[in-house]
């Protein structure tokens, strides 16, 4: 059995656990071999590979990032991209390709299977935890721990200076990191893309908190929230971007909403306000035990799916069971934070 593996999209802790598991399972259980494709789908189009054996995956379990490298390459945006991938599958006589990625990388995998009949299996990863059909993606737990620790640290400095601190976390169009880190860190207000807010509500929450004797506040805001530019009417909303243009999958680069909010809060409440944007720190470094275990379980299952020729599937975790699901189903919608969870968070606002 000859298996290809690639990692695409933003990196996250736990990718190396998957790669290691794919290699170990394929070699030990099926006597097969694994070839790694470098920098996501770009490595298949350009035939940029590395052999993956026991030596290559030794010692990588606790390492963040991905030994294969990654990119946000969309082969469907490149002339002849899908055809080049088809040729590589045939030339290399691949029995299957394991694509480890978020909605973009898996969306490509799904189209290659659906439209070109290529034997592809998906493994969902992202710190954003926004992929449908799976309770968790690996990388999320690590990001959550990092964001929670940051909020803990910001508490002590905010309290010492009587300041409001606005903490901006990642998550793209969903608020999973924000809501869970905010609950875990005891945030005084959490703003997520799923729940629109007005600037008057934000300032009002801080004013009432300070009125009950608190001299500092921690506000967690997800990068993908729409900023209400006309506070009273709630009109003219839009995400805040850190750079013009879009990537190959049509995504804008989010970032900067905390700065916009801080200006409004300081002007609207009179309290000194500071900003902390956590950014890529949330994606870097060693994975938590949870993410190592999840990545390992996903990698083992993905190798089994290739061996069983169950293509067009994505591995998922539901409860404590690893279950293969239709990749197409997972690609249909983004998994958003439910109101019930947000209501729990809301209990502690102000």
Q: How far apart are CA 8 and CA 250, in angstroms?
A: 15
Q: Alpha-carbon distance 103 to 130, whole Å?
A: 8
Instruction: Find residue 221's DSSP bridge partners.
Output: 168, 191
**Alpha-carbon Rg of the chain, whole angstroms?**
22
Question: Binding residue for ligand F6P (CB under 6 A) from 34, 131, 170, 221?
Answer: 170
Among 171, 182, 256, 299, binds ligand F6P (CB under 6 A): 171
Residues in 1-30 that interact with ligand F6P by CB under 6 A: 10
**Of 170 and 314, CB closest to ligand F6P:** 170
Minimum CB–partner distance for residue 191 and ligand F6P (Å): 15
Q: Is 69 in the site for ligand F6P (CB under 6 A)?
A: no
Among 254, 303, 317, 327, binds ligand F6P (CB under 6 A): 254
Active site residue 128: yes
Question: How does DSSP assign 271-292, residue by residue?
Answer: --EEEEE-GGGGT-SPPPHHHH
Could you say which residues in the range 204-243 bind ligand F6P, by CB under 6 A? Answer: 223
Q: Is 2 helix (H, G, I), strand (E, B) or coil?
A: strand
Nearer Cβ to ligand F6P, position 77 or 116?
77
Q: Is 172 in the site for ligand F6P (CB under 6 A)?
A: yes
Question: Of 35 and 67, which CB lies nearer to ligand F6P in the complex structure?
Answer: 67
Of 172, 140, 171, 148, whose CA–CA distance to 298 is shortest? 140
User: Which two three-digit tokens encode residue 99?
Assistant: 């694509």
Query: Smallest Cα–Cα separation from 231: which of 262, 201, 193, 194?
Result: 201
Among the listed residues 7, 126, 129, 148, the single contact to ligand F6P using CB under 6 A: 126
- The CB-of-167 to ligand F6P minimum distance in angstroms stands at 14
> Does 40 contact ligand F6P by CB under 6 A?
no
CB of residue 200 to ligand F6P, shortest distance in Å: 27
Q: How far apart are CA 134 and CA 218, in angstroms?
A: 31
Nearest Cα to 107, choosing from 331, 335, 333? 331
Q: Is there binding between residue 125 and ligand F6P (CB under 6 A)?
A: no
Q: Which is nearer to ligand F6P, 40 or 102 (CB)?
A: 102
Q: What share of the chain is helix, strand, coil (3-state, %, to 5)?
A: 45, 25, 35
CB of 176 to ligand F6P, least distance (A): 10
Q: Indicate the pairing of strand 2-7 with strand 96-101.
A: parallel
**Residue, CB closest to ligand F6P:** 170
| Residue 60 C-alpha from the chain's centroid | 20
Q: Using the rule CB under 6 A, is 127 a contact of ligand F6P?
A: yes
For 272, other C-beta atoms within 10 Å of its C-beta total 15
Kindly list the catalytic residues.
128
Binding stretches for ligand F6P (CB under 6 A) = 10, 72, 102, 126-128, 170-172, 223, 253-254, 283
């Amino acid at each position: 059995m000859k298996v290809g593996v690639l990692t695409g999209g933003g990196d996250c802790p736990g990718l190396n656990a998957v790669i290691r598991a794919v290699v170990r399972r394929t070699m030990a259980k099926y006597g097969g071999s694994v070839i790694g494709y470098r920098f996501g789908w770009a490595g298949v189009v350009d035939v940029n590979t590395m052999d993956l054996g026991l030596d290559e995956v030794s010692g990588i379990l606790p390492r963040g990032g991905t030994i294969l490298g990654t990119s946000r390459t969309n082969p469907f945006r490149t002339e002849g991209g899908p055809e080049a991938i088809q040729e590589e599958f045939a030339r290399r006589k691949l029995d299957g390709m394991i694509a480890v990625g978020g909605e973009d990388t898996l969306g490509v995998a799904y189209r290659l299977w659906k439209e070109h009949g290529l034997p592809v299996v998906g493994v969902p990863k992202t710190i954003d935890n926004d992929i449908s059909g799976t309770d968790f993606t690996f990388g999320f737990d690590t990001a959550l721990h990092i964001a929670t620790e940051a909020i803990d640290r910001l508490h002590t400095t905010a309290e010492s200076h009587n300041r409001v601190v606005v903490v901006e976390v990642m998550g793209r169009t969903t608020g999973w990191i924000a809501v869970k880190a905010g609950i875990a860190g005891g945030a005084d207000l959490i703003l997520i893309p799923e729940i629109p807010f007005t600037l008057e509500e934000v300032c009002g929450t801080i004013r009432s908190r300070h009125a009950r004797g608190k001299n500092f506040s921690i506000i967690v805001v997800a990068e993908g929230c729409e900023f209400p530019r006309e506070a009273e009417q709630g009109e003219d909303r839009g995400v805040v971007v850190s750079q013009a243009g879009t990537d190959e999958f049509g995504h804008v680069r989010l970032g900067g909403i905390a700065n916009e909010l801080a200006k409004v809060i300081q002007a609207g409440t009179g309290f000194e306000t500071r900003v902390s944007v956590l950014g890529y720190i949330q994606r870097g470094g060693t994975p938590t035990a949870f993410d190592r275990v999840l990545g390992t379980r996903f990698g083992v299952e993905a190798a089994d799916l290739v061996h069983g020729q169950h293509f067009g599937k994505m591995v998922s975790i539901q409860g404590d069971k690893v279950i293969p699901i239709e990749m197409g189903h997972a690609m249909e919608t983004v998994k958003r934070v439910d109101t019930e969870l947000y209501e729990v968070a809301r209990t502690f606002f102000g």
